[in-house]
Amino acid sequence: MKQHLHFILISALAVLVVLAAGCSRDSELYQPSEEEILANAEEVLGVKISPDLDWSLTSSALARIVVGGTEGETYTVKIYSNDPQAEQKGYVLKRARVESGDTLQTLFEYPADAEWLVASITDSRSLTLYRRLPVDDGLLEGTLGDEPSAVWGRGHQHDEPAVWTYAFEDTPLGDYDLNDVVLQVSESAKDTTKLEVRLCCVGASFDLFVFLGETPVFSGKEVHQALGQNRGLILNTGRGPEVDVSKLQPAYIDKPQGFTFANADFWIKSPLVPKGIHIAKTGKAPLGVVIPGEWQWPLENVCVKEAYTGFVKFAEDDDDDDARQWYKATDTTPVRDKIYVKGQKALFDQDGLLPPDKMINHNPRSHRDVHRVLRSILRDL
The DSSP line for 197-255 is EEEEEB--SS--EEEETTEESGGG--HHHHTT--TT--BSSSSS----GGGSPPEEEEP
> Can you give the pTM of this predicted structure?
0.84
Ranges in the chain annotated CATH 2.60.40.2890: 58-161
For position 30, what pLDDT does the model report?
60
3-state secondary structure of 258: coil
**pLDDT at site 100:** 94
Q: Name 105's bridge partners.
A: 64
235 neighbors 297 (Cβ within 8 angstroms)? no
Q: What is the structure's pLDDT at 50?
A: 87
CB 145 within 8 A of CB 75: yes
Residue 367, pLDDT score: 44
Average pLDDT per run of 10 along the chain, which is 381 residues long?
A: 40 38 41 91 94 91 94 95 90 96 96 94 92 94 85 80 97 94 96 96 95 96 97 94 94 95 95 89 94 96 95 83 88 93 64 44 42 38 40
pLDDT for 347: 61
Alpha carbon separation from 132 to 118, 122, 258, 287, 341 (Å, rounded): 4, 15, 28, 36, 32
Q: What is the DSSP letter of 260?
A: -
58-161 adopts what CATH topology? Immunoglobulin-like (2.60.40)
- Determine phi and psi for 35, rounding to 5 degrees: -65, -40
Which residue type sits at 283?
A: G
Instruction: Please state, in angstroms and rounded to a whole number, the distance separating the CA atoms of residues 303 and 290.
Output: 17
Which residues, listed in sequence order, are joined to residue 27 by a DSSP beta bridge? none
CA distances from 185 to 72, 100, 162, 245, 350 (A): 36, 33, 8, 13, 36
49 CB-near residues (< 8 Å, 6+ apart) = 38, 41, 42, 283, 284, 285, 315
Runs of H (alpha helix) within the chain: 2-22, 34-45, 84-87, 223-226, 304-307, 311-316, 367-380
